[in-house]
Amino acid sequence: MASSCSDHLPSSFMTLPKQNPLSSVDAVFGNDDLVTEILLRVPAKAVLKLKLVSKNWLSIISPASFAVRHTRRNPHTVSALLLRFSSFFKEQPTHKHVSLDAERSKPTDYIFNPTTRQFALLPLPPNEGKYFTRIHLVFDPSVSPHYRVVCIQFFNSELKIYVYSSETTDWKLSVKLDNFDLLSVNFTNGVSWNGAVHWMSPSGNGLSFLLDMECLQTIPRPPLPESWQDQDFSDQSIVVYSMERGCSKWFAKYCLHMNAIVMAYPEITEDKDPTASPFSGKKWV
């Protein structure tokens, strides 16, 4: 019986080559949606380094929308407070050399992002040099990739508030008040929170500047102890108050006994006057 040609061919010629199935790794990294979801869970500093992996990853990570999503996915909580108590210590005398021949140069301010290590020059606000100026940075990456800078200018009884936007790269006059009592509010230590800059008053209610509404509103000061005038200053402590949203009232959140802290961390009083009390009375934060 005659045999067909196929009977004499090797078996390797009888079957078609098998196609290698797409590996699971290729399937994942070939899907931009999956890659994005993975990168959103990676710490911020590591994500920035992953820009170097490929042009595709660079295009995923670079948009501002990714930064906003990443911040919302990885919220940060406040873990500490930075307190200044220099006025309660006896500092060693220091001497600084001031040249009388040097020309007075205008200050140069930069906005620096420590995560991306990028910086931008902040243009001088209007009327620089004619007013006493205080500047406060406002930035919430969970809301917008753009930052704003609030500039407080005051001279005699006139108060001006300018706002710089990184999106428009321009200053805008938001508030101008005449006959303002500049001693009623301490504009030096402003706190940015919840879309506003807040300043406390040494004697009464504080002020908040609402950036979106471009207006000022008063805020209550933290409640004082009932026996504030007769306070026993041997009770050395810090009471940390937190303000509710809407700036309606305060509530006590922490009470820190400073003598115990000094005993646990004696280095904070090194080279200071040993007879002086570093934490006298109540400090409102």
pLDDT tens for each residue of 136-157: 999 888 888 889 999 999 888 8
Q: What is the mean pLDDT of residues 59-85?
A: 74
Percent of the chain residues topping a pLDDT of 90: 14
The SS3 of residue 27 is helix
Give one DSSP letter per residue of 54-73, joined into a string. -HHHHHHHSSHHHHHHHHHH
36 shares its domain with 118: no
Task: Decide if 6 is inside a domain.
Answer: no
Q: What is the pLDDT of residues 22-49, one digit of tens each?
A: 566 677 677 888 888 888 888 888 888 8
285 shares its domain with 198: no
Task: Decide if 44 is inside a domain.
Answer: yes
pTM of the model: 0.63
204 shares its domain with 173: yes
Query: Domain span at residue 59?
Result: 27-75
Which helix (H) or strand (E) segment holds residue 120: the answer is strand 118-122
146 shares its domain with 209: yes
Which of 163, 186, 219 terminates a domain? The answer is: 219
Which helix (H) or strand (E) segment holds residue 44: the answer is helix 44-49
Task: Decide if 82 is inside a domain.
Answer: no
pLDDT value, residue 150? 94
112 shares its domain with 51: no
Going by pLDDT thresholds of 50, 70 and 90, the confidence category of residue 161 is very high
Task: Decide if 116 is inside a domain.
Answer: yes
User: What distance in Å separates the CA atoms of residue 99 and residue 94, rounded to the nearest whole number?
Assistant: 16
Task: Decide if 187 is inside a domain.
Answer: yes
Q: How many domains does the chain have?
A: 3
Which of 192, 219, 246 terminates a domain? The answer is: 219
